[in-house]
Amino acid sequence: MSQIISDRLNRLSESQTIAMARRSRELKAQGVDVISLSLGEPDFNTPAFIKDAAKKALDENFTSYTAVSGYQELREAICHKLKRDNGLDYTPNQIVSSTGAKQSLANVLLAMINPGDEVVLLAPYWVSYLEMVKLAEGTPVVVSGGVETDFKVTPEQIEAAITNKTRVIMFNSPSNPTGSVYSKNEMDALAAMLEKHPDVYIISDEIYEHINFTDGHVSFASYSALYDRVITVNGLSKGFAMTGWRFGYIAAPEWIAKACNKMQGQMTSATCSITQKAAEAAMMADRSVTFEMRDAFKSRRDKIRTLLNEVPGFITNVPDGAFYFFPDVSSLFGKKAGDQTIENATDLSLYLLDVAHVATVPGDAFGAPKCLRLSYAASEDVLTEAVRRIKSAIEALS
């Protein structure tokens, strides 16, 4: 019996974050004391008021199918949140909730991209962007920034990449994997450039909105000239420690929302009804409920940055959001560990896992082959020990 895998699947690469997490679990199952800094998952519990809303939904038997895009009151709550926190005016018909921001992103790309359409990716980019574009049969066009610019790119760089085939730009601030946050002035400059390209749409991934150590978050849809071309993607996994609940949403022009609703209706239908009730509670809550976790991450960032600066060959910037460091480690390429030569970031990541028993993710997965991603979504004690192990392993290279 032949085993046939579609060409579509064969074109996709496995998620490196998930692959490293799996390898870590395998070593842990063998009794190895592995510290995993590979997954972007807050080490906090979901707030009690959100869990209480879910329990109430269960007790009231809110366990049936809902509308594909989410029940009416939930979408109204999302509109309320967007107006209160972001100054954005949306109606429930412009909202589609999904099983996580990842599905929301996939819905948009699959609904909007035709074969050969170009999608501009700002590298370093989140690991799944490239593969989603490939799945949609689009052509990725990569624009890169380095550690010397806090991994940000300029309007001029993006504009140089725009052609008559450009359909979408994917934007993420605060950024995974770099933690970079575009300032209001930087956003103003990007918006002014994009005003000149009326056929280009912007997918604004704002999943780390609440883990932002700067003065404030700026949404692309707040620029009136761009509003009709912006698809805002957000969710609850990061800011509310709800990774397992699987809830994300888009706010978009109504025709795009309808297209995504149609797409999702044939794939998964609505996300879990209990999760939707929990999400409604989160959306209606004042954003101050996220401050404790945000402040804890900022404290960790400051401590771990000091420690990482002592690791030979690690060039780090100051991430202004999310919970990642993304050091440039290219000066370590060519170093040896016994008979092994560290040729690239993947080699270094595997070396750190095998020798230091610390799991990281190589930057190749994010379009930045000189770097490693380290998540600091762990306790300060665990992070301190992880960096101690990394430093020891790096110092053993020759």
Q: Which residue is listed with tokens 């998930």?
A: 18
Where residue 379 sits, what CATH number does that domain have?
3.90.1150.10
Question: Of 286, 307, 322, which closes a domain?
Answer: 286
Integer Cα distance of 169 and 122 in angstroms:
8
Where residue 98 sits, what CATH number does that domain have?
3.40.640.10
What confidence tier does 18 reach under pLDDT thresholds 50, 70, 90?
A: confident
pLDDT over threshold 80, residue 329: yes
Of 242, 239, 241, the residue nearest 291 (C-alpha): 239
- Does 133 lie in the same domain as 276? yes
Q: Which two tokens stand for residue 288?
A: 């101050």
pTM over 0.85: yes
Supply φ then ψ for residue 122, to 5 degrees: -95, 110
Q: Pseudo-torsion of CA 8, 13, 18, 20, nearest 10°?
A: 160
Domain that residue 385 falls in: 7-45+290-395
In-domain check, residue 168:
yes
The per-residue pLDDT for range 292-316, each reduced to its tens digit, is: 999 999 999 999 999 999 999 999 9
Average the pLDDT over each of 37-41, 104-108, 160-164, 273-277 and give the range with the smallest value. Answer: 37-41
Question: Of 231, 256, 286, which closes a domain?
Answer: 286
The per-residue pLDDT for range 59-81, each reduced to its tens digit, is: 999 999 999 999 999 999 999 99
- Does 391 lie in the same domain as 255? no
- Does 341 lie in the same domain as 241? no
Element (H, E) at 140: strand 139-144
Task: Count CA atoms within 13 Å of residue 231 on its CB side.
Answer: 29
DSSP 247-298: -EEEE--HHHHHHHHHHHHHHT-SPPHHHHHHHHHHHHS-GGGGHHHHHHHH
**pLDDT value for 318:** 96
Per the rule left: phi > 0, alpha: psi between -120 and 50, beta: everything else, 126 is beta
Based on the structure, what is the number of domains in the chain? Answer: 2
- Does 336 lie in the same domain as 233? no
- Does 83 lie in the same domain as 19? no
The answer to whether the beta carbons of residues 235 and 47 sit under 8 Å apart is no
Question: Of 256, 286, 316, which closes a domain?
Answer: 286
- Does 358 lie in the same domain as 216? no
Q: What angle do CA 265, 54, 82 make, to 5 degrees?
A: 65
In-domain check, residue 55:
no
The per-residue pLDDT for range 35-53, each reduced to its tens digit, is: 999 888 999 999 999 999 9
